[in-house]
Structure formats: C-alpha cells, structure tokens
Amino acid sequence: MPKTTQKKYITNQSIQTLVDDLTEGQFVAKILASRGNNLHQVETFNGENFLVSMPSRFRRTLWVRRGNFIIAQPIEEGDKVKAEIAHVLDVENISYLIEKGKWPERFLKEGELLTKRGGKKFDESGKEEEDDSMFPPTSSDDEEDDNEADEGFL
C-alpha cells in the first residue's frame, strides 16, 4: 500500500470513526506533555501519571498535543512506559463517550468544555441526532407565519 494511501486510511480509522466501547483494559487518559521519541506523559482517570508510547502506525501521521485525550491500551513490558496509544479522541468521540456514560468523572468538566456539548444527542446506533431547528422551514410553517402576519395588520 502506498504511503499516502496508508496515511489516509490510518487518519480515517483513528479520527473519523466513533469509538464503540472501551475494550477490557483500555482507559481514557489526558496528554500532559511530550517526552520525545514518541513518548507522552499522561494522566489517567485515577490521577496516576506515567508514559505511553505512540505506535509506529500513528507516527508521522497523527499528532497529539498537551490537553488532548486518548484511549490507551496497557502493555506488559517496561517499567516507565505502561501503555500504548490505541485511539486519539476528537470532539465527537468525547461527546459520544460522555453521552454513553463511559467518560471518567475526573475529566468530565474538561470534556464538556472541550466539546461545548450544547445538547448534542446520539441515537442508539451512535449517530448524532439532528436538531429540528437546523432544517429550513417547511411550507406549512411558512403558511402559519403568513397567517399570523396578516392578523397583525387588521
């Protein structure tokens, strides 16, 4: 697979897909700092700080910065590096996890501020429900508005 196609695939897989559920052992963490060599210091939901590694498939394709949220998968080897980044969370994924009740309480305030939720709702399939106010008025709405306008000038 050519490099550009591979980068597009990884970007689509990581960013544009909604996280269904956290698999066993996975957890949400907040990036605190980059330590170089694709290592990042994170804070977990219980306040623990340690290093996570960026897997080779994400290198030179995805970037994370301080304040981003990730899903990390624990790894057995290593004393300092205790997990590997499994997914980089975007605003839609954070909103979805908050809605489903999978978001950690420790990060709830930051997550809500980051997403500026404003009443976003998700249906059972995980797709965002559309707000009726976003649609243009229908012809029946226009007729009601015209009738109200006519009554006001009598």
pLDDT at 119 over 50: no
Report pLDDT for 5. Answer: 74
Q: What is the DSSP string of 88-144?
A: E--HHHHHHHHHHT-S-GGGHHHHHHHHT-TT--B-TTSPBPPPGGGSPPPHHHHHH
Q: What is the mean pLDDT of residues 39-62?
A: 90
pLDDT at 132 over 60: no
pLDDT at 118 over 50: no
pLDDT tens readout for residues 66-94: 999 999 999 998 788 999 999 899 888 89
Q: pLDDT confidence of 13, banded at 50, 70, 90?
A: low
Tell me which architecture the domain covering 3-132 has in CATH. Answer: Beta Barrel (2.40)
pLDDT tens readout for residues 29-47: 999 999 989 999 999 999 9
Percent of the chain with pLDDT over 70: 66
Question: Where are the domains positioned within the chain?
Answer: 3-132
100, 105, 106, 108: CA torsion to nearest 10:
60
Residue 6 token pair: 């591979």
